[in-house]
Amino acid sequence: MKTLDIFKTALANTLRTKLRTFLTVTAVVVGAFTLTLTSGIGAGINKYIDAQVDAMGDTNQVYVMPAQTMDASMSFAGSEPQEYDPDAEGSTSEFGMPALDEDDIDELEQLDNVELVDPMVFVNVEYLEMSDGTQYALSSPGLPFELSMLEYAAGEAPSTSNDAHEIVVPTSWLSTFDIDDTENADQAIGETVTVGVQDLEGNTETVEAEVVGVSEETITGSGAQPIPSHGLNQEIAEINNTADDTTLDYSYMQAVLTVDNLAENEDQIKADLAEIDMVGQTVEDQMGMISGIIDAITWVFNGFALIALLAASFGIVNTLLISVQERTRQIGLYKALGMTNGKVFTLFSTEAIVIGLMGSIIGIGLGSVLGVIGNSVLINGPLDSVPGLALFAIEPVSLLVIAVVIILIAFLAGTLPARRAATKDPIEALRHD
């Protein structure tokens, strides 16, 4: 009997007892369906995370904070109170957390392969005044490190020079320049705006800035507000911290390093930071933790699906054992006509594979269809406010792996009944009533 004939015979035998086969296949479908949904959800969310990483723009950035910040962030719950030591290293704080000061920034600037140190300074702005004198409220502008994350509808990123007073405005602000269409966004480039800033005494000072770019909002939310250049942000921060012509010292929660060829120098940078009691994280590090959690949850649900497939495998064993018992005389006839034990084993193993194949095709198909429809309904309905969100993604390789795993489990489940059929004595089998 040729391979094709064996497959046709196995398919015909499988469909002979339709109800029993249907119930057995249904158990396999449940496992395949669950595996498809969980793997697709994991792939979709990881795809969204990857999109966020890509939206971060400059992959050569490292986010730096004092090493004590990690300890402090883990010591709020259940920790003993510590006696205050004003001379302790890292006592400078921002919102109660260890922070960086000017000496730390200078030290970071001396590290090898560091092109730019951008302290994360949160500034307060009163208004942005257009050339016609109209003032628009702007309490919290974006941060300079976000500039590398943006896509520009017109213009370019500002200079990183300390004396460059430049600004990037989002497309939503084009109307303030009497520009109605983003296609004409380049008309805003070169405009001069006046930034109103209050000092610690409540006095308002002004700083002029040139518009050098018009930004599109990213999926991370960056670009939703005007963003000052590095130099302009520092100027605003100095005004915010000035009283009676005296600028007070201020600290930074983080600093963003731009590193030359971070892919090659990442280990060296992190080692250098550790020597000066600081820690650095790349965007991949930060997103990697989230991705790891998603993967762990996906594997937990995949575990439940595999348990369902294990239960289904017992159904396959039971179905084929009954089939062997019912077809004992047929097995004896096959052997009397010259079919070898190996061919008999292959025939019944193929029946198990057919059950697994049918269950995987139906389960994977249903899971994929439901996943795509559910994803479309959610991202265009309740979750439409999250740009770029993907809750489900079809990965052909993953679906193929799922199908192979299910067929393998079905084959292993069918080996016991197949072996029993293959080892039957043909004379005894023919006498079976």
pLDDT digits (tens, 9 = 90+) for 386-420: 666 788 888 899 899 999 999 999 999 888 888 88
Show the beta-strand stretches assigned E in 104-245.
Answer: 114-119, 127-129, 135-137, 151-155, 166-170, 192-198, 204-216, 227-228, 242-243
Angstrom distance (rounded) from CA 51 to CA 198: 38
Angstrom distance (rounded) from CA 312 to CA 27: 5
Angstrom distance (rounded) from CA 22 to CA 281: 53
Contact 144, 215 (CB under 8 A): no
Angstrom distance (rounded) from CA 410 to CA 408: 5
pLDDT digits (tens, 9 = 90+) for 10-63: 778 777 778 888 888 888 999 899 889 988 888 888 787 777 666 555 567 888
Give the rounded distance of the alpha carbon of 121 from its chain centre: 28
Contact 154, 181 (CB under 8 A): no
pLDDT of residue 227: 92
Quote the DSSP letter at residue 172.
G
Beta carbons within 10 angstroms of residue 115's beta carbon: 12
Contact 296, 289 (CB under 8 A): no
pTM to 2 decimal places: 0.59
End-to-end alpha carbon distance in the chain: 26
Dihedral sign of CA atoms 74, 77, 80, 86 in order: positive
Contact 120, 255 (CB under 8 A): yes
Residues of the chain with pLDDT under 70: 1, 3, 52-59, 68-98, 218-223, 286, 385-388, 429, 431-433
